[in-house]
Amino acid sequence: MCNRYQNKTMAAEVASYFAVEPQRVMQFNVGTDVYPNYPGMVIRVDDGVRSLRAMNWGFPVRLKSMKPTSKPKPVNNARDDKLLTFMWRASFEKRRCLIPLTAWAEAEGKKGSMTCTWYSLPGIELFAVAGIWRPTDEWGDCYSMVMVDGCPQMEEVHDRMPVILSPETWSQWTEGTQEEAMQLVKTCHDELAVERSRDRWGRAATTPMTGPLI
C-alpha cells in the first residue's frame, strides 16, 4: 500500500494543469512529501466545477480495541475489492476526486534498514491517481487513495499500486456513474520510472507545512 508520495508542483501549476479556475483554488499550506494524516492537494468537482483544495490524507477509523480517549487512525488506502463495502461505498458512489502527484514511494529492503523506492511516469512531472473523500468530524474533509494489484514492474517491492488516471478519464472518474468509475479501477501496465534512493523509509519527523504554495 502507498504510505508516502510527493507532489513537487506549485498549486498554481496544478490548478492550470487540471483546468481549475483561479477563483476555485482554496488557500492552503501543504508540503512536498505527503504522509498519512498529513494535508495534501485534491481536485474535486462541486456542481460541475473543479476546485483545488487541501484535505487530510486518510479516513479516521477508531478500532474496537482502542481506548475511548485514543486518537483515530488514518486509513489512507482503499482497496479495489473493498470499494463497495460499508466503509468506502458512499464515498466511491458520490465523492470521487483526483490526487495530483509527482511520484509515490514504497519501502524496499530488510526490516529496520528499508529505503524508499520511487515510482512515477517517465517524462511526466505531474499526473493524477484516483481518490475518494468524505467530510469528518475529526479532521474535516479527508481523502483516501484507491489501490489495485501492482504491475509486474513492481512485483519485487510491493503487490499493490495506485489507480493511475490518464487526462481523458479524469471527468469519467469524478463525474461518471459508479459503474463508469469502476471501469477505471484497474492496474496500469504502462512503463514506470523507478528510482531506488538511499533515503530511509519512515515517517517524517517534522510537520510538512512549508508555507503558501499559491
Question: In this predicted structure, which of 4-8, 101-105, 208-212 has the lowest mean pLDDT?
Answer: 208-212
Q: Return the domain boundaries, the chain.
A: 5-60+74-102+124-191
46-58 burial code (b ≥16 CB/10 A, e <16): eeeebbbbbbbbb
In this predicted structure, the answer to whether residue 162 has a pLDDT above a threshold of 90 is yes
CA distances from 187 to 19, 42, 127, 163, 191 (A): 26, 21, 15, 6, 12
Rounded Cα–Cα distance for residues 135 and 13 (Å): 26
pLDDT-based confidence at residue 203 (cuts at 50, 70, 90): low
The pLDDT of 47-75, averaged and rounded, is 90
In this predicted structure, the answer to whether residue 123 has a pLDDT above a threshold of 50 is yes
**164: nearest Cα among 94, 123, 117, 104:** 104
Rounded Cα–Cα distance for residues 122 and 191 (Å): 7
- Alpha-carbon dihedral 45, 48, 52, 53, rounded to 10 degrees: -50
Question: Residue 1's pLDDT is what?
Answer: 77
**pTM (two decimals):** 0.92
What is the number of H-type helices and E-type strands within the chain?
Answer: 4, 15
Residues in contact with 78: Cβ distance below 8 Å, sequence separation at least 6, in sequence order = 88, 91, 92, 132, 144, 145, 146, 147
Task: Give the total residue count for the chain.
Answer: 214
Give the pLDDT confidence of 20-30 residue by residue, as tens digits. Answer: 999 899 888 89
Whether 26 and 110 have beta carbons less than 8 Å apart is answered as: no
Query: Under CATH, which architecture does the 5-60+74-102+124-191 domain have?
Result: Alpha-Beta Complex (3.90)
In this predicted structure, the answer to whether residue 207 has a pLDDT above a threshold of 90 is no
Question: Residue 111's pLDDT is what?
Answer: 84
**What's the whole-number average pLDDT of the chain?**
91
**99: nearest Cα among 164, 21, 151, 48:** 164
In this predicted structure, the answer to whether residue 208 has a pLDDT above a threshold of 50 is no
In this predicted structure, the answer to whether residue 110 has a pLDDT above a threshold of 70 is yes
- For the record, the C-alpha cell of 150 comes out as 501492482
Return the higher-pLDDT residue of 22 and 178: 178
